[in-house]
Amino acid sequence: MKILVTNDDGINSEGLRLLALELEKYYEVYVVAPDSEKSATSHAVTLRSHLEIKKVKLEGLKNPSYSVSGTPADCVRIGLALLHEDVDLIFSGINRGYNAGGDIKYSGTVAACAEANLHNLPGVAVSAEFKDGSSDFKTAASFVPGIFQKYQDLVLAGPIVLNINVPKLPEEEIKGIKVCELGDLVHDRFRQEIISEEISHVFLKDRKMIDLKDGADQKLLSQGYITLTPIKYIYKDQALMDEFLQVK
């Protein structure tokens, strides 16, 4: 099996390298990732400037890797169109910080997998909790092959995104793995600084988690579980289309 690995934290992220190393124990792995951090770029692509591709060497990996001066979605597009047309699926991560609940809408990590879906390929997004100034990428990476192999037939059956989040805990303290729904959007709070009558600057002050929904990813992560959420990006709702067609 041939896997393309990307992320939104950039080509030099330790999470990316450790994920690729773990997958390389079982599969043929190629890395195409942004040349710098592109967090929260969602599904943006580059249209008005050229993209620079560089061949780079990541420590421990057998195959050449490539950096791209663009977004995670750019990396998937370039990786599939120019470098590795015959890949079987995309892995994205390991992200520094959860991609849970409504936050997936802004995530470059998850959007890279959504881009894979547009090319009729499945994607697996992997994120690790950021806590006390760091993420435990090594522990998170160690779980990924086993999770994928358990659900491989379902993942490969069609263009879906499997969204995986791993809490920052010693391996023996992780309570298990739960398949679950997405939680809610985290509420961002802002601070406004008045510059003049016409201009003000707005800064992200903090993020406040609302009450956690029982059985959803955010709640289960807080309880020490790894969470798996299968996601389908459906761009055509035939029933809704039929309703519109019936309007005279």
CA distance 34 to 79: 11
* Mean pLDDT, the chain, integer: 94
Report how far apart, in Å, the C-alpha atoms of 238 and of each of 183, 244, 245 are.
26, 10, 10
Tell whether the model's pLDDT for residue 69 goes beyond 90.
yes
CA distance 74 to 88: 18
Predicted local distance difference test score (pLDDT) of residue 189: 84
Average pLDDT (94-123) is 96
pTM of the model: 0.92
Q: Check: CB of residue 216 under 8 Å from CB of residue 186.
A: no
Predicted local distance difference test score (pLDDT) of residue 94: 98
- Structure-block tokens of residue 205: 């002050």
Class for domain 2-182+212-245, per CATH?
alpha beta
- What letter would DSSP give residue 19? H
Amino acid code (one letter) for 10: G
Give the residue extent of every domain in the chain: 2-182+212-245
Amino acid code (one letter) for 53: I
